[in-house]
Structure 1
Amino acid sequence: MESFSLEPTQKTPKLFFDPSNGAFEISGRSIPENSIEFYRPLLNWLDEYIKSPNKKTELKIMLEYFNTSSSKCLVEIFRRLQKIHQDGEQLHIEWHYEEEDDDILESGQDFKEIMKLPIEMVRIDTDY
């Protein structure tokens, strides 16, 4: 299975999903014109990945901002990863947030509570 990757733009995040080592990343801003169309290829890719996942899958989410329609797509990503978790494979999700960004932190906590997934909140120290 090939990796899935997209470079970031002003409105779309970087997507990097490497099935060989189970290392996945979503980072940047997610405010595409049509979130469903933007994320559909990734969701289709994940449908294939969950059929034969790596023994350990790790997703790092480092979003500085995302809109409501993107949050619905994140739920769909989490639903697919939930299948891996329920099947007993190792799954680890890191939700990165800047220490002053309560909105992103609360969103991550909400996803963790709603989806019942192993999501670790990782604070990014903004003091340089």
Structure 2
Amino acid sequence: MKELKIESTPRTPFLHFDPNTGRLEMKGRSTPDNALGFFKKLFEWLAEYKLYPNKETALHIQLEYFNTSSSKCLFDIFKTLIELNGEKSKVSVVWYYNGEDDDMKETGDDYKSMINLPFTMVNTAEE
């Protein structure tokens, strides 16, 4: 299985998913007009990855901002990872936020309370 790499644009995030390491990265802004269209490749990639995942899978999210339709797609990504978590792969989420951005911290806290996965919050202002 090949890695998935999509460069960022002013309206879409950088995506990098490496099946050999199990590291999934999402960075930037996500405000595409058609979020489902943008994330389609990612969902297809995850469906294939679920068949032969790495022993450990870590989703690293460092979004500055995302719209409502991207939020729905992000939740669907979490649901896919919840299905993957268990015998095949140990899944975790790392949510990066700027300490001055209360909205992104609160959003991370909300996701943390909604999904049943190890979820680490990282304040990038403290790094």
TM-score (norm 1): 0.94
Structure 1 unaligned spans of 5+ = none
Corresponding residue of 1:98: 98
Moved over 6 A (4+): none
Structure 1 residue 88 displacement after superposition? 5.7
Count matched residues.
Answer: 127
Aligned to 1:7: 7
| TM-score, normalisation: structure 2 | 0.95
For 1:126 and 1:89, the matched residues in 2 are separated by 30
What letter is aligned with 2:93? I
User: Take 1:44 and 1:112, find their aligned partners in 2: how far apart are those partners?
Assistant: 24
Q: Give the fraction of aligned pairs with identical amino acids, expressed as a percent.
A: 45
Quote the RMSD (CA, aligned, Å): 1.4
Which whole-Å CA distance do the structure 1 matches of 2:93 and 2:15 have between them? 15
Return closer, same or farther for 1:107/1:63 CA change in 2, 3 Å cut-off: same
- Whole-Å separation in 1 of the counterparts to 2:117 and 2:19: 20
Q: What are the equivalent positions in structure 2 for 1:1-40 lying under 5 Å apart?
A: 1-40=1-40
Q: What is the CA–CA distance in structure 2 between the aligned matches of 1:119 and 1:72, rounded to whole Å? A: 18
**What amino acid sits opposite 1:5 in the alignment?**
K
